[in-house]
Amino acid sequence: MEEKRFIIPFFISHLGCPHHCIYCDQGVIARPVAATAPTAPEIAAEVERYLRLGRLKNRAGRQVQVAFYGGTFTALPVEIQEGLLRAVGPFLKEGVVHSLRVSTRPDALSPARLEVLASNHVATVELGVQSMTDEVLRRSRRGYGSEQAREAVREVLRLGLEAGVQLMVGLPGESAETFAKTVEDVIRLRPHFVRLYPTIVIRGTGLEQWFRAGDYRPLTLEEAVAISKEALKRFRAAEIPVIRIGLQPTPTLPASIVAGPYHPAFRQVVEGALLYEQAVALLAAHKGSPGIPTTFIVAPQDISTFYGEGRANIRRLCEVFDLREIRVRPDPLQGRGTLALWAV
């Protein structure tokens, strides 16, 4: 469903956030609502612009959804929530926009708040759950516990809305084992989709102070990739789409990073690690013929991901299995994210 949508995004900074989480830039959070909330005319103009872009990109048959990202939407004053949502009303009535999406926190939901969303054509609610480990949530200053997070997801689903869950890899006090438990807890809730973000130390945050004092060690890129790879594997097995892995690159983000496992193509690195793992398993069970190159079958969209940066995956496979040559054959019938060996 997610891939068939044409998303028109609005970023409302950190409006409505009731807490200063340890990893967030508090200077951004402190901006007044009037300084960052888009006005109705601004929303209308941006929707029109995206619809023109969509027509150029041939969005025939795709659902159009307006999304309000970045803040705790349901913690905003009700009149601001309704003003933002109703600004899209004319496009909904015309049928050129089909639904709305908002992001919020587990502790900012209530039956009354959900009713405001449902009565204004909101179809999708993304919840910044981050972890299902109480101690991790406490140390990250999230302001809620794991049971409240579970109940928030259940409430969204009970109302018949789509539920998305955002998780963070490498929060203070989180381990590979506790994050694996978080993944299993989320799978049991059966959300419609998940996002995975590595924890990055951003300048001006409490986490930067902990890092410089030696009280927090961010994950290495290799550690973050390994943990995210296992999570992706489990969500795929449970048929829960992971619609994003890694932070959205922006022009200002790299200069704000103090430390942590940032990579502009983090998803591709994670998926490449998973394909490498599959290749190892296939080669371990394969008895090749001497002198005949090993050929992998891969979906055309996954070729560069399988190769890895600088063909790193291919080089490692040749070294580990003492192969002289590995060939890659694209096949549109091969499932995305999967490999097969070519039978000679």
For every one of its 344 residues, what pLDDT tens digit does the chain have, with 9 covering 90 and above? 455 789 999 988 766 676 678 888 744 333 444 456 789 999 999 999 999 887 655 555 688 999 999 878 999 999 999 999 999 999 999 999 999 999 999 999 999 999 999 999 999 999 999 999 999 999 999 999 999 999 999 999 999 999 999 999 999 999 999 999 999 999 999 999 999 999 999 999 999 999 999 999 999 999 999 999 999 999 999 999 999 999 988 888 888 999 999 999 999 999 999 999 999 999 998 876 666 789 999 999 999 999 999 999 999 999 999 888 999 999 999 999 999 998 65
* pLDDT score for 109: 92
* pLDDT score for 206: 93
For CA atoms 268, 256, 198, 241, give the dihedral sign: negative
* pLDDT score for 169: 98
Best CA proximity match to 243, nearest among 193, 199, 197: 193
pTM higher than 0.85 for the full model?
Answer: yes
* pLDDT score for 33: 44
* pLDDT score for 252: 82
Phi, psi for residue 296 in degrees, rounded to 5: -100, 140
* pLDDT score for 56: 56
Domains of the chain: 2-263 (3.20.20.70), 271-341 (3.30.300)
Cα–Cα distance for residue pair 236/271, rounded to 1 Å: 12
* pLDDT score for 288: 65
User: Which helix (H) or strand (E) is 186 found in, with range?
Assistant: helix 176-189
Cα–Cα distance for residue pair 155/165, rounded to 1 Å: 13
Best CA proximity match to 107, nearest among 149, 138, 55, 137: 149
Inter-residue contact 185 to 133 (CB < 8 Å): no
* pLDDT score for 31: 41
DSSP assigned state of 12: -
* pLDDT score for 73: 92
* pLDDT score for 36: 66
The amino acid that residue 28 corresponds to is V
